[in-house]
Amino acid sequence: MARETRRRVPRRYVVLAGIVAIVAASERFGGPLTIDRLRAASADGAEYAVDELRNRTAVGEIHLTFDDGPTGTTADVLDVLDRYDATAVFFPIGEQVEDHAAVLRRATDEGHRLGNHTWSHDRLVAMSPSEYDAAVGRTQIVIERATGVTPSCLRPPGGVFDEESRARAAADGLSIELWTVDPADWTSPGADVIVERVVDAASDGAVVLLHDGGGDRSQTLAALDDLLFRLSSARYRFTALPGC
């Protein structure tokens, strides 16, 4: 009964006040709910789940995440992480796993975690059950076959999803994991810009969105060593995202 009642209440009224505050913070710090992203989500009929941006209170810890791999860059990312004793979560694209299975196995052997980022960067909105299975279920299978690891978390491409995909993920034992710091490295703004955006927004329990695929990630790689040096100098540790 409570579930049905909640569905009858328009979500835009329930979360409006929270959205206003988060948009303001995102515009300042490069978070996920910028005005441009909200416009794009609205145009596609998708929703940002504000309640999924959980308040993480891991004192002195930052959670690094890498989307859109694995690619040839992933091994270089692992090399940098190793120098700083940093643990990260990688969210692979399913269709790329088989060709790069060895580097994913290396990642898990070195203590990193794997999530699910759909088969081909699919938008988790208005999907039929079979479409969802092809996007998420198939990715679960290929990651498990390649590494022996079954992901326990799902990152929706673009950070957008709807109630149906949320429910299906929960039924599959997948938590939906977003981020709190987005330096927009995928736009190639320059390595120095990426570093400053992450360092300026760093805080206890921050979830940093970076990419090891989806295009030329040379700027991300160049930025990674510097930002890890600066954050470790500020006594941050780099731990796996809770839930993954």
Which residues make beta-bridge pairs with 154?
Answer: 116, 176
Q: Is 117 a catalytic residue?
A: no
Distance, in Å, from the CA atom of 204 to the CA atom of 72, rounded to the nearest integer, reads 31
Distance, in Å, from the CA atom of 9 to the CA atom of 122, rounded to the nearest integer, reads 28
- In this structure, the strands spanning 61-67 and 88-91 are parallel
Which of these is catalytic: 67, 68, 122, 185? 67
Question: Is residue 175 within 8 Å of 202, Cβ to Cβ?
Answer: no
Question: Is residue 177 within 8 Å of 244, Cβ to Cβ?
Answer: yes
Residue 164: other Cβ atoms inside 10 A:
15
Which of these is catalytic: 112, 182, 211, 212? 211
Structural tokens at position 59: 């004192």
Q: Which residue has the tokens 């979500």?
A: 11
> Is the CA virtual torsion 95, 98, 99, 105 positive or negative?
positive
Question: Is residue 244 within 8 Å of 107, Cβ to Cβ?
Answer: no
DSSP secondary structure of 177-216: ---SB---GGG---HHHHHHHHHHH--TT-EEEEESSSS-
Q: Is 63 a catalytic residue?
A: no
3 state SS of 134: helix
Catalytic residues: 67, 211
